[in-house]
Amino acid sequence: MGLLESLIGVSSINSISHPDVIERHRQGQISEVGSGLHSSVEVAMATDTELLFTFYSAWPNYNTHPKLWEVGIRALPTADHFEQTVLGRTEWIKFLALFFNRERQANEIFAPAAERYEQLKTITQSVSSRPEVLVGWPSGRDIWNLNGARNFFAALIADAGGRYFWKDELSYSLIPVNLERAFDEQREARFYISRSFSANTRAGLASLNPVMPNLRSFATNQIWSPDKNTKTHRRPPWQDQSLDYPDVVLKDMIAALHPELLPRYEPYYLRKLD
């Protein structure tokens, strides 16, 4: 919306791929204030911000807005990660626009993107098969991190003509589950969308946990990562730009699950791992 000059602080520059934001940080115009338990109230105070958007967690100990309120900072917790649809997350641009009187511009950005997304959904409605899709990554030897069955990522898979493997969990956000249980339910999934940006090859994924090579997706060579067009280590555009282009995200997923529907399309965010 042309409001970059209003941005004076971010949680961490290491997860941001947008070159203009990175450059403004290099010039000292954007500060790092941390996030969650690692945030710095003192740094946030030093930025002299008029409004601070914070991450909202279902676990009270991970919320920083009460402490920020105590020191006089207008902190507003946001919970877009609880949205159940991709468009629901993108629509938060309207919320942000309210603070800058840019509602009309936000609508002009969102409406055509939403229309393109809905049009794309129609091409998967009559697919003859909906392959099962595994999402997530191992954390240590005992935990598998995944999206809840009511999370937007599960809806994205459905919109792209797939089936999300985790069916009986009603969470709206990311959740840690027992690795043995997750592996028992996921090992026959034909596709795997990895969210582990620390491993960018199949061999790298296999090194994270000894169970990984036993996944069917390793045998079918259908492991994908949303790290395409990454120019700096662990700064994939998917992380901080994909919500602006929900139709591109859906197109990428359709191209991965049903390439016959988009034979000439080259994914922008998703990359098949070698």
H-assigned helices in 123-233: 152-159, 179-186, 202-208, 216-220
Q: Per-residue pLDDT tens for 114-136?
A: 999 999 999 999 999 999 999 88
Backbone torsions φ then ψ of 106, nearest 5 degrees: -60, -40
pLDDT of residue 118: 97
Q: Per-residue pLDDT tens for 223-271?
A: 999 989 887 767 888 888 898 999 999 999 999 999 999 999 999 999 9
**How many structural domains is the chain composed of?**
2
Q: Which of 44, 59, 78 is the last residue of a domain?
A: 78
Considering the domain architecture, whether residues 167 and 231 belong to the same structural domain is answered as: yes
Residue 44 lies in a domain: yes
Provide mean pLDDT across the span 85-91.
95
Q: What is the CATH number for 149?
A: 3.40.50.1980
Q: Per-residue pLDDT tens for 168-226?
A: 667 777 788 888 888 887 888 999 998 776 677 888 888 888 888 888 999 889 999 99
pLDDT of residue 38: 53
pLDDT of residue 197: 67
Domain boundaries, position 205: 132-272
Residue 178 lies in a domain: yes
How many other C-beta atoms lie within 10 A of the C-beta of residue 214?
A: 12
Q: Per-residue pLDDT tens for 4-42?
A: 999 999 988 888 999 999 999 999 999 988 765 555 677
56, pLDDT greater than 60: yes
Q: Which of 78, 103, 123 is the last residue of a domain?
A: 78
Considering the domain architecture, whether residues 193 and 65 belong to the same structural domain is answered as: no
Residue 32 lies in a domain: yes
Considering the domain architecture, whether residues 56 and 156 belong to the same structural domain is answered as: no
Q: Token digits for 258?
A: 């049903």
Considering the domain architecture, whether residues 45 and 169 belong to the same structural domain is answered as: no
pLDDT of residue 46: 79
- pLDDT band for position 87 (cuts 50, 70, 90): very high
How many other C-beta atoms lie within 10 A of the C-beta of residue 82?
A: 17
Q: Token digits for 270?
A: 């998703």
Considering the domain architecture, whether residues 263 and 197 belong to the same structural domain is answered as: yes
* DSSP bridge pairs for 175: 146
- Mean pLDDT, the chain, whole residue set: 88
Q: What is the pTM of this model?
A: 0.88
Q: Token digits for 268?
A: 């922008």
112, pLDDT greater than 90: yes
Nearest to 87, CA basis, from 208, 265, 217, 242: 242
Half-sphere exposure of 180 (CA within 13 A, CB side): 1
